[in-house]
Each structure stands twice: as structure tokens, then as C-alpha cells.
Amino acid sequence: MLPASILQNNHLCSIYFAPRGRDRLYSLGMQIAQQYLTPFDKLIGVIGEAGSGKSVLTKAMFPGLELTNDDNGVNIRPLPLLDQDAVQRGFYSPHTYHVDIRFEMGFTQPFELADAILQTVRKGKRVVVEHFDLIYPFLMGTNAQLLIGIGEEVIVTRPTIFGPDPQELAAIVHKSVAYRKMAHTAEDLCEFYMPEGLMDVCHHGDVRHGFVMAFDHVKPDLDLAELEKKVSDAIARNVTIDFVDETHITIDGQLHDCTGPRTHVHTTGEIKNFRLEHEFRYDHLSDQYLLIGHVGEHSNYTEILSGLL
């Protein structure tokens, strides 16, 4: 029987919508770990801009892994990856290390981080590297065994000697995450201006360059053209969107529930070409009425493959 890592050598890439809700992103991370991560993988690269959900995805894929630079500003010092001699002398020796390259490059030279990563891998340990594209030029051609990019989509690939290179994946996800932030903000604005109670009974879905809000069984009594106008007016006024905590944002200073509070534009004026479809779409299979919203230009699904094929 061949090892799982060999059996996956024919895997080029898998692409998923990047959920805007934290719980849905946790669920996707667990799914990715179950389907693509093997015990033989020692170097895992994660690529994505701030607010894209790299840390949430990492926590989901590696439950219990202590991130060295979490979102609450708790920074582990000295960095375990750079202090392995002390770690090895202790009773507990971790199997998996985490490092955020963008953060650590403010304190440590890239070649030192790269050397520590390679030494750790040679010892049979695993290293999970956020912002892998920044350290790759210093790794002497060593690519990640599993490479994950998160922008508007989550792209999972097992690179070969012919690529994809981390910079190719970064070019895709760094560009596309803007659409995810625009769509999520527009989606929250629609919730914000809906009649009271509708927000609590809708389900959220993900589409490219847009969003879906689904209602079970009964079509809401909602004028979609009027809702579009209210949201468009808020976009034109360029109101601020601020993070409050892990379940809330403020829209123009007013508190609003949100399960993905970091995945937003800073002001509504950053949302480009917002529009709603003025009729609900009915899904016969799920018995749901779908409110469809779009941002940016027309979505072309083949675009996300262009950097990998």
C-alpha cells in the first residue's frame, strides 16, 4: 500500500468558496485537513492577506496548535521555532510549529527564519507557515508539500517540481480577497436595512463576486429594488465599517451582529458595482427563496484557474 502523500501526487488543485462566517470557515478547514493533509506532510504553506481568515483556517486544520501571533495580540516569546534547543531539553517537545512570516520578519532576518524552518523539517517535525510566499525565496527551492491560498476562494494544491510557486498562488488570492470583503460588507448592509426579524431567519451562502441569502419555504415580503436603493445610498455616503469583537461590527457607528467581523472593507465606498437581482430565485430542491447580490464585474469562474493551469 502506497503512503497517502504518494497517492495524492495526481492532485493538481481543489477550489472552494471561502466562507465569510467564522463557523463555516472552521468547518471548511476541518474538511481540508481530512481530505488533503497526511502524516507525511512536514511543511505546510498558508497564503493570504490580513483579514482573509488564515489563522481561523489554520486553527481548524490543526486543533490545539498554539499560534505564535494570534488576533488578540498574544505573541509567544521566544519564538519556539527559533528556540528548539531549549524546547528539546524540556519534558514536552512539540511536533508541530507555527510561524507568521510577515510578523516575524519585523524581529528576525528572513534567512534565519528559513534556516530554522528547514532544520525543523529535517528533524521530522512539521511547520505551518503563514505568508509562505514571503519566505519561499529564502528556502533554497524548497516548496511546501501542501500549499493553501485564501482569498475569495480557498485554493488547495500539492505542488510538484513544476509548481505552482507560492508567488503564483499569492497573485491570485491577494487580488480576489477584495471581492470577498466587498461582498461580505454588502451582505451585512442588506441585513442592516432589512425589516426586523428577516435577518434572523435567513441562511447565508457563498458565490463568486457576490452573496446569497436564502429563506425557507415562504418568499419574504420584501421590495428588493427598495433594499438595493438603501444599500446603494449607504455605499454612496461612504460610511465606516469597524470591528468590535468576534461577533459584532459597527455600521456607521451602529452595532450589528456578524460572524466574520474581520472580513470587511473599511468604508462602504470601497464596494464597487453593487446590485441586487430584483426577483427572488426559487430553488425547487431546497424549497428556498434566494436573494442574490453581486459586486464588482461579472464573475468568470475560469479566471481562478488561470494562474494554476
> What DSSP letter does each residue of 194-242 carry, written as one string?
SPTTHHHHEEEEEETTEEEEEEESS-----HHHHHHHHHHHHHTT-BEE
Domain assignment of residue 278, given as a range:
178-305
Same domain, 160 and 103: yes
Is 171 part of any domain? no
**CA neighbours closer than 13 Å in the CB half-sphere of residue 296:** 20
Same domain, 255 and 225: yes
What CATH number is associated with residue 190?
3.30.980.10
Domain boundary at 141, 164, 187, which? 164
**CA–CA separation, 243 and 117 (whole Å):** 34
Same domain, 24 and 154: yes
Is 169 part of any domain? no
Is 156 part of any domain? yes
Is 42 part of any domain? yes
Residue 308: predicted pLDDT: 47
Overall domain count for the chain:
2
Count other Cβ atoms within 10 Å, centred on residue 229. Answer: 13
Quote the Cα angle for 99-104-110, to 5°.
95
Same domain, 237 and 210: yes
Residue 12: predicted pLDDT: 81
Is 155 part of any domain? yes
Residue 2: predicted pLDDT: 44
Q: Give the pTM.
A: 0.85
Residue pair 264/249 in contact by the 8 Å Cβ criterion: yes
Is 89 part of any domain? yes
Per-residue pLDDT of the chain (309 residues; tens, 9 = 90+): 445 445 566 778 899 999 888 888 999 999 999 999 999 999 999 999 988 889 899 999 999 888 886 655 556 667 888 876 655 555 567 789 999 999 999 889 999 999 999 999 999 999 999 999 999 999 999 999 999 999 999 999 999 888 899 999 999 999 999 999 999 999 999 999 999 889 889 999 888 899 999 999 999 999 999 999 999 999 999 999 999 998 999 999 999 999 889 899 999 999 999 999 999 999 999 999 999 999 998 766 555 555 444
What CATH number is associated with residue 100?
3.40.50
Residue 68: predicted pLDDT: 81
